[in-house]
């Protein structure tokens, strides 16, 4: 599925959820579901527009990423410029996230508006070849047009989760119909609304196919000709992120990062947007030996 079609599917998902809440609120609170649905349709349209045009900036803001100049990060710029030239893509903007948790991601709605962000921790953890492999992976996401749907997904997942939680707590704290069935309806709808938060975020996460990570691994390794360097980087990053997960940002945006930066048990990792790290490493090592498992 192309990036634009996948993005359209996410917009449709968000619109459908907003319309559902509009119908419920209009029926239970206002007694006018038509007006509420129209209002929420307009709200969904506004959210879609914000997600499309501003999702990249929102993601950077949520992770406190700061755009840096070449004078501030000459080594990073040098490696990234080499990789973009090899990939025949324009040079993206560069940002650094102020955390020692080592990771990287790319965002933006197209290659001309792309930003590649790395954390402070990754710059001290990885060798130059390993960092080159990671940056090639991120640039592959840019070239494959993954960054649009990944950025939009992260933004919409957060919006849906926030709306569902606020709706649920509002209902529990006394909103809704006051007829004889009102209490039961209120409690049921509140529980549904609160449960929709993690479910909606999960649906958005799963909309990002794991195959995109495999493809970015493959493209990045082929671009720089160093699959073992990327495999080594992934191994280091996975271990370091389990030891020191991110403490800010939203798990709904885990799909942006090269490895999952958030803590979580087996169930969370089962539904991760990333393929198992051992499988990614095994494929890269096989690729280095001339075996293409992609």
> What pLDDT, on a 0 to 100 scale, did the predictor assign at position 25?
66
> What pLDDT, on a 0 to 100 scale, did the predictor assign at position 267?
47
Considering 167, 186, 206, which residue would you say is the last residue of a domain? 206
- Structural domain of residue 276, as residue ranges? 62-147+209-288
Does residue 77 register a pLDDT over 70? yes
pLDDT band at 48 (very low <50, low <70, confident <90, very high): confident
Does residue 101 register a pLDDT over 90? yes
Return the higher-pLDDT residue of 226 and 25: 226
Annotated active-site residue 130? The verdict is: no
Q: Are 132 and 160 in the same domain?
A: no
Q: Are 31 and 69 in the same domain?
A: no
Return the higher-pLDDT residue of 211 and 208: 211
Considering 186, 206, 226, which residue would you say is the last residue of a domain? 206
Residue 16 located in a structural domain: yes
Residue 86 located in a structural domain: yes
Residue 45 located in a structural domain: yes
Q: Are 239 and 279 in the same domain?
A: yes
Choose among 69, 75, 155, 82: nearest CA to 122. Answer: 75
Please tell me whether the overall predicted TM-score, pTM, comes out greater than 0.95 for this model.
no
> What pLDDT, on a 0 to 100 scale, did the predictor assign at position 39?
79
Which residue out of 82, 128, 138, 235 is catalytically annotated?
138
Does residue 265 register a pLDDT over 60? no
Q: Are 46 and 103 in the same domain?
A: no
Inter-residue contact 108 to 114 (CB < 8 Å): yes
Q: What is the mean pLDDT of residues 66-89?
A: 97
Does residue 34 register a pLDDT over 70? yes
Q: Are 50 and 78 in the same domain?
A: no
Q: What is the mean pLDDT of residues 11-19?
A: 74
Identify the CATH number of the domain in which residue 237 sits.
3.30.2010.10
197-212 b/e (C-beta count within 10 Å ≥ 16 → b): beebbbbbbebbbbeb
Does residue 24 register a pLDDT over 90? no
pLDDT tens digit string along 137-182? 999 999 988 887 777 766 666 666 666 666 666 655 655 544 444 5
12-21, 125-134, 258-267, 284-293: range with highest mean pLDDT? 125-134
Q: Are 26 and 131 in the same domain?
A: no
Residues 99, 164: Cα–Cα separation, whole Å: 30
Q: Are 39 and 23 in the same domain?
A: yes
Q: Are 261 and 197 in the same domain?
A: no
Residues 126, 103: Cα–Cα separation, whole Å: 10
> What pLDDT, on a 0 to 100 scale, did the predictor assign at position 187?
58
Q: Are 216 and 187 in the same domain?
A: no
Domain tally for the chain?
Answer: 2
Return the higher-pLDDT residue of 3 and 80: 80
Choose among 282, 283, 137: nearest CA to 212. Answer: 137
Residue 293 located in a structural domain: no
Does residue 257 register a pLDDT over 60? yes
Residues 160, 167: Cα–Cα separation, whole Å: 11
Considering 206, 226, 250, which residue would you say is the last residue of a domain? 206
Q: Are 133 and 189 in the same domain?
A: no
End-to-end CA gap in the chain: 17
Q: Are 143 and 244 in the same domain?
A: yes
DSSP string, 2-14: -HHHHHHHHHHHH
Residue 98 located in a structural domain: yes
Mean per-residue pLDDT of the chain: 82
Inter-residue contact 89 to 143 (CB < 8 Å): yes
Q: Are 125 and 81 in the same domain?
A: yes
> What pLDDT, on a 0 to 100 scale, did the predictor assign at position 180?
43
Residue 294 located in a structural domain: no
């Amino acid at each position: 599925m192309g990036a634009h079609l996948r993005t359209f599917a996410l917009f449709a998902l968000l619109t459908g959820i907003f319309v559902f809440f509009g119908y419920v609120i209009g029926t239970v609170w206002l007694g006018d579901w038509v007006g509420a649905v129209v209002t929420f349709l307009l709200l969904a349209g506004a959210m879609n527009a914000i997600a499309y045009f501003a999702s990249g900036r929102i993601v950077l803001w949520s992770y406190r990423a700061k755009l840096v100049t070449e004078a501030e990060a000459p080594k990073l710029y040098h490696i990234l410029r080499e990789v973009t030239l090899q990939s025949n893509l324009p040079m993206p903007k560069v940002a650094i996230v102020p955390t020692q948790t080592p990771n990287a991601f790319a965002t933006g709605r197209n290659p001309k508006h792309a930003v590649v962000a790395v954390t402070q921790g990754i710059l001290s953890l990885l060798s130059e070849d390993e960092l080159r492999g990671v940056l090639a992976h991120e640039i592959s996401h840019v070239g494959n047009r993954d960054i649009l749907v990944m950025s939009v997904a992260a933004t919409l997942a957060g919006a849906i989760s926030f709306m569902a939680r606020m709706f649920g707590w509002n209902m529990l704290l006394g909103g809704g119909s006051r007829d004889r069935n009102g209490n039961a309806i209120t409690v049921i709808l509140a529980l549904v609304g609160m449960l929709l938060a993690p479910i909606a975020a999960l649906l958005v996460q799963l909309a990002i196919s794991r195959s995109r990570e495999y493809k970015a691994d493959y493209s990045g390794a082929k671009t720089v000709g160093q699959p073992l360097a990327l495999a080594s980087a992934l191994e280091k990053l996975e271990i370091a992120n389990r030891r020191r997960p991110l403490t800010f940002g939203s798990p709904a945006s885990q799909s942006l990062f090269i490895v999952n930066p958030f803590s979580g048990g087996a169930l969370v990792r089962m539904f991760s947007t990333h393929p198992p790290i051992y499988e990614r490493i095994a494929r890269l090592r096989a690729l280095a030996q001339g075996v293409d498992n992609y």
